Amino acid sequence: MTLTGTWSYPTQIRFGAGRVAELAGACAEAGITRPLLVTDRVLATLEVTERALGLLDEAGFGRALFAEVDPNPNEANLEAGVAAYRDGGHDGVIAFGGGSGLDLGKAVAFMAGQTRPVWDFEDVGDWWTRANADAIAPVIAVPTTAGTGSEVGRASVITNAATHEKKIIFHPRMLPKVVIADPELTVGMPPAITAGTGMDAFAHCLEAYCSPHFHPMSAGIALEGMRLVAENLPRAYRDGSDLGARAQMLAAGGMGAVAFQKGLGAIHALSHPLGAVYGLHHGTLNAVVMPAVLRLNRPAVEDRLARAADYLRIGGGFEGFFDFVMRLRADLGIPATLRDMGVADDRLDALTEMAMRDPSCGGNPVALTRDNVRQLFVEASG
C-alpha cells in the first residue's frame, strides 16, 4: 500500500430540521439571483417542492421549476434542462430531490456553459479538465431522501439512453456550494424507498470501507456511517415520522458519499447495469447483490469486517457481520434475490460486460474478472 492520496472534503452543509427556510439565504450566499429548481416529476407534485418554490418566490428569487427528470436521468432530460436554464436566463441551480433530481440538477449547472457533449466529461482519467470550469453554474443541493449522498458529491450519474449504460460525469466544481440537509424533507418517504435509499448509504459506507485504497479519513467516516444506518434505518423504516432517526439517516447518506472518495466496488459495478437495463431502484439492487459480493470479497476483508462487527456491537467476526446484513435486509422487506425483483437470468453475459466496464470495479478488494462477476450475477439471481 502506498501512503499517498489526493483528498477533497465537502462543502458547507446546513444541517437540521426546518433549515429549508434558509433556501433564499443560501442562494444569496452562492451568488444566485435567478435560480432554476430542478427536481423529478413525482416530487414536483408534492408539498415539499411547493414550499421550496414559495420560499424562493417570497424572497424575490422567482419560482422557476424544471421537472422533466426520469428516475434514471438521461441525456435527453439533461438537454431539456439546459435549454430551460438558458431560456430562463438563470444563474444557478437548486438541485432538489433524491438521486435523480440532485444528479440532473448538478449536471444542468455543469453543462449550461459547456460546448462539448456531456459524454466527453465521463469520469475517465483527466477528461474533467476538458470542461470550461469558469462556465459552471453554482448549485444549492437540497436532498429529500437519505442515501445517495449526491448532495456532497462531485459527480452525476447520467444514463446513456442509447446504450443503457450509466455514466459518471465528474468535475470537482460540480460540488454544490451549499447543502441544505433538512430531515423534515425526508419524512414523507414511503417505507420501501426509505429502505432502498438507506441501503444505498450502507452500501457506500461498506464498499468504501472495504476498498483497498489508502484513505483513513474516509474509512473512519464509513465505519461511523455504517453504525448510524444499523441503528437508525430500521427505526426510520418502522416509523417514518421519527425525526431523530431521519436526521441520523440523512447524515449517514452524506457520510457514505464522502466516504466513497475511497472507492466503491462490485456492489455498485453490478447494480449500475441492472438499474440501467431494468430501471430498478438503485439502493434496493445494492442490498440484493450485497451478500454475494461479501462472500466473494471475504478473503480480502475478513479482518476488516470483523473490526466493523465489533464497532457496530454485532460481534462474531466476518460471520457476525454477514448475518447482520442478512437480518437487516429481511427486516427492511428487501427482496431476497434478483429474481424476486423480476430480473430474468437471460442477459447475464451482457450485464457482465457492462459491469466489467463500470469504474466501480477498480475499488473492489478482490480483482474482478468476467468469471467471478458472472458468478456474482448468478448467485444474486437466486
Q: Which of 75, 103, 182, 200 binds Fe ion (CB under 5 A)?
A: 200
* Of residues 22 and 200, the one with the C-beta less far from Fe ion: 200
Nearest residue relative to Fe ion (C-beta)? 200
User: Dihedral sign, CA of 186, 99, 177, 37?
Assistant: negative
- State the minimum distance, in angstroms, from the CB of residue 237 to Fe ion: 18
Residue pair 97/145 in contact (Cβ under 8 Å)? The answer is: yes
- State the minimum distance, in angstroms, from the CB of residue 164 to Fe ion: 18
Locate all alpha helices (DSSP H) within the chain, ordered by sequence: 23-30, 41-44, 47-58, 75-87, 99-111, 191-210, 216-238, 243-259, 266-278, 282-311, 317-331, 348-356, 370-381
Residue 367 falls in which region: left (phi positive, over 0), alpha (psi -120 to 50) or beta: beta
* Of residues 116 and 357, the one with the C-beta less far from Fe ion: 357
* Of residues 317 and 362, the one with the C-beta less far from Fe ion: 362
d(CA 229, CA 237): 11
CA dihedral 328→329→334→335, nearest 10 degrees, is -150
Q: Can you read off the three cell numbers belonging to residue 307?
A: 473490526
d(CA 365, CA 315): 22
CA atoms within a 13 Å half-sphere pointing along the CA-CB vector of 46: 15
- State the minimum distance, in angstroms, from the CB of residue 241 to Fe ion: 26
* Of residues 14 and 272, the one with the C-beta less far from Fe ion: 272
- State the minimum distance, in angstroms, from the CB of residue 210 to Fe ion: 14
- State the minimum distance, in angstroms, from the CB of residue 343 to Fe ion: 18
* Of residues 82 and 230, the one with the C-beta less far from Fe ion: 230
- Count of residues that bind Fe ion according to CB under 5 A: 1
- State the minimum distance, in angstroms, from the CB of residue 94 to Fe ion: 22
d(CA 250, CA 35): 24
Q: Can you read off the three cell numbers belonging to residue 270?
A: 453490478
Stretch that binds Fe ion, among 39-47, 193-201, 215-223, 322-330 (CB under 5 A): 193-201
d(CA 291, CA 380): 8
* Of residues 85 and 209, the one with the C-beta less far from Fe ion: 209
* Of residues 168 and 247, the one with the C-beta less far from Fe ion: 168
- State the minimum distance, in angstroms, from the CB of residue 110 to Fe ion: 20
Stretch that binds Fe ion, among 48-56, 61-69, 200-208, 232-240 (CB under 5 A): 200-208
- State the minimum distance, in angstroms, from the CB of residue 149 to Fe ion: 8
With binding defined as CB under 5 A, does residue 182 bind Fe ion? no
* Of residues 136 and 285, the one with the C-beta less far from Fe ion: 285
Measured CA angle at 40 (ends 36, 41), to 5 deg: 110
* Of residues 122 and 200, the one with the C-beta less far from Fe ion: 200
Q: Is 139 helix (H, G, I), strand (E, B) or coil?
A: strand
Stretch that binds Fe ion, among 70-78, 86-94, 197-205, 290-298 (CB under 5 A): 197-205
Helix axes 370-381, 282-311, angle to 10 degrees: 100
- State the minimum distance, in angstroms, from the CB of residue 354 to Fe ion: 16
Stretch that binds Fe ion, among 75-83, 194-202, 298-306, 350-358 (CB under 5 A): 194-202
Stretch that binds Fe ion, among 12-20, 103-111, 198-206, 317-325 (CB under 5 A): 198-206
Nearest of 17, 86, 97, 23 to residue 60 by alpha carbon = 23
What residues line the site for Fe ion (CB under 5 A)? Answer: 200
